[in-house]
Structure 1
Amino acid sequence: MYFLAMLELDGYLLAPPRPQFALPFDTYDTWCVLLPATGSFDYQVGDAHGIAKFGDVVVCPPGGILHRRMRSRTSFFHARFTTELEPPTGRTRVRDLDRLRGNLTLLENATTAIATHVVTDLVLMLSRTSPPKDPLVDSALTYLNEQYVSPDVSLTELAAILGISPSQLSRRFRAVRGTTPVAYLRDLRLQKARELLAETDQTLQVIAEHTGYRSAFYLSRVFSTQTGQSPSEYRRTSRV
């Protein structure tokens, strides 16, 4: 009984594949989790952002804003809950994928009690797989978040500032964030570009200058490769 008492479920949804979320972002009074069963989606929770695929769980704390956008047709599980536990916010990679698959199967014809059990188990898995703390990685994140607008930012420069080799920095960064500094910087710049495309009428050249790209052409090429849409297509669909 104590296992179930750790968490009170407010609502949940196991959604079949669909082309896009109903809302690009939402704010919740409770904790919430969002994870893809198939497909993938872009997400942002506070300063944490990136791509979630099967095995990744995105957690948004009470009062936080969860931004999300599908990269392809995606089925997903979403739940809102209150808990005395402290799940890690942002994206966490689940180690036991078979256990995750089993939990998703249980949800297909679940009662509220079973769904509560599944979400509690999921939160416990996240708490046990929380990334290690590394002050050097925290310093790297601060630098990237502050300097991403400069096109001159590089892995070599950042490693030199922190006093370690580029390979050591990449290894330690991946251990904590699940991605490399280069990929983190790219995703950060693209997230900022998406925001400017959706919320302003700035030209692509101006957006490139504000997001660390030397030209509109280069931004367009990276954007299309990573999102599957051109910047103009993204701007048009994000305003529908």
Structure 2
Amino acid sequence: MAILVEIMHIFDAAGSSLDGYLLAPRRPRFSFGSDTYEGWCMLLPRNGAFSYEVEEVAARRTRAVGEAGLRGEAGFGDIVISPPGSTLRRRMRTPTSFFFARFRTALEPPIGCSRLRDVDRLRANLSLLESMQAACDEGRQRLDAGLVAAHVVDDVLITMLWERTREGAREDVLVRKAIAFIQECFASPDLSLGDLARTLGVSSSLLSRRFRDVRGVTPVQYLRGVRLQRARELLTGTDLTLQTIAEQCGYRSAFYLSRVFKATTGQSPSEYRAG
């Protein structure tokens, strides 16, 4: 009942006012590497990837922060939110098409980057906006595409807060312990699902099921994400060799790190570092 009441409050507060939007086709770079906005803004990739940083100092301690934090890399399904008065920095890692919107809202979405689980819904909304915008440009549709863009913003915000509320309600001690153990031990190349389950005193199947229910991914997928995020940070923030980075991220060799990195990001580590 408490979850239902909270969700009803989310819907009651919805109804964002759109100040402007851009549905941009694939391009190699952003027109501006950073900007400071008076109101809220939302930036999300349709394909490709970009790095981001939300410089949000004054309200950092009073607003919720997305699970991916105030800086990192965003791909499809990731939503980057910048609050009023903050500076949003961004740089494309690969050629990217994206949706950008400036808006006002009574909601308090988490700032920085959050990942939507319902990516099919997001994809459908963006496809609808693209079709509507094309029809308006060709004079085949009198309905303002801006109305659809406002719907996309509202739907993303509501979905984001709904998923966050459900996750908070379903989070359990087992999953919290698993996440803490992975964060502490991800650099060990011998860390496995079996090891993690034995440490926590449960079966591998139970741990995987509970973890997926709460986080939307398996423990193994979460571990890979933690390792690759650390690899990205070391590639762009240090001059360490690829072999040293691999060892610090839980991989036995630079070759294996390169294979996993390329399969996940579409770029080799050297291409990512050069970009």
TM-score under structure 1 normalisation?
A: 0.74
Distance in 1 separating the partners of 2:32 and 2:161: 28
Superposed, which structure 2 residues align to 1:1-240 within 5 Å?
A: 6-19=15-28, 31-37=40-46, 39-41=47-49, 45-46=68-69, 52-53=75-76, 56-60=77-81, 62=83, 69-70=92-93, 73-87=95-109, 90-94=114-118, 96=121, 98-99=124-125, 101-106=127-132, 110=144, 115-130=149-164, 131-132=166-167, 133-135=170-172, 136-237=174-275
| Aligned AA (2:221) | A
Give the conservation status (yes or no) of the 8 Å contact 2:14–2:158.
Answer: no
Report the CA distance between 1:90 and its aligned residue.
0.9
1:123-175 deviations in Å (ceiling 9; x for gaps)? 22333344433122232222222221222221111122223222222222222
SS across alignment from 1:185: helix
Report the CA distance between 1:25 and its aligned residue.
8.3
Give the conservation status (yes or no) of the 8 Å contact 1:43–1:52.
Answer: no
Distance in 1 separating the partners of 2:71 and 2:171: 16
Give the conservation status (yes or no) of the 8 Å contact 1:4–1:117.
Answer: no
- Relative to structure 1, is the Cα distance of residues 231 and 5 closer, same or farther in structure 2, using a 3 angstrom cutoff? closer
Pair member with larger Rg: 2
| Aligned AA (2:150) | T
| Aligned AA (2:156) | L
1:65-89 deviations in Å (ceiling 9; x for gaps)? 7877555x54221224342224456
1:101-142 deviations in Å (ceiling 9; x for gaps)? 334544555565653343123322333344433122232222
State the Cα RMSD in Å.
Answer: 3.7
Distance in 1 separating the partners of 2:265 and 2:156: 29
Distance in 1 separating the partners of 2:31 and 2:192: 37
- Relative to structure 1, is the Cα distance of residues 79 and 193 closer, same or farther in structure 2, using a 3 angstrom cutoff? same
Give the conservation status (yes or no) of the 8 Å contact 2:28–2:92.
Answer: no
Report the CA distance between 1:30 and its aligned residue.
5.3
Number of aligned residue pairs = 232
Distance in 2 separating the partners of 1:187 and 1:113: 36
Give the conservation status (yes or no) of the 8 Å contact 2:44–2:74.
Answer: no
| Aligned AA (2:171) | D
| Aligned AA (1:208) | A
Distance in 2 separating the partners of 1:99 and 1:205: 42
Give the conservation status (yes or no) of the 8 Å contact 2:189–2:250.
Answer: yes
Distance in 2 separating the partners of 1:16 and 1:187: 28
TM-score under structure 2 normalisation?
A: 0.66
| Aligned AA (1:78) | F
What is the aligned-residue identity percentage? 48
Gaps of 5+ in 1: none
Give the conservation status (yes or no) of the 8 Å contact 1:28–1:64.
Answer: yes
SS across alignment from 1:184: helix
- Relative to structure 1, is the Cα distance of residues 142 and 4 closer, same or farther in structure 2, using a 3 angstrom cutoff? closer
SS across alignment from 1:189: helix
- Relative to structure 1, is the Cα distance of residues 49 and 138 closer, same or farther in structure 2, using a 3 angstrom cutoff? farther
Give the conservation status (yes or no) of the 8 Å contact 2:116–2:159.
Answer: no
SS across alignment from 1:93: coil
- Relative to structure 1, is the Cα distance of residues 205 and 48 closer, same or farther in structure 2, using a 3 angstrom cutoff? same
SS across alignment from 2:116: strand
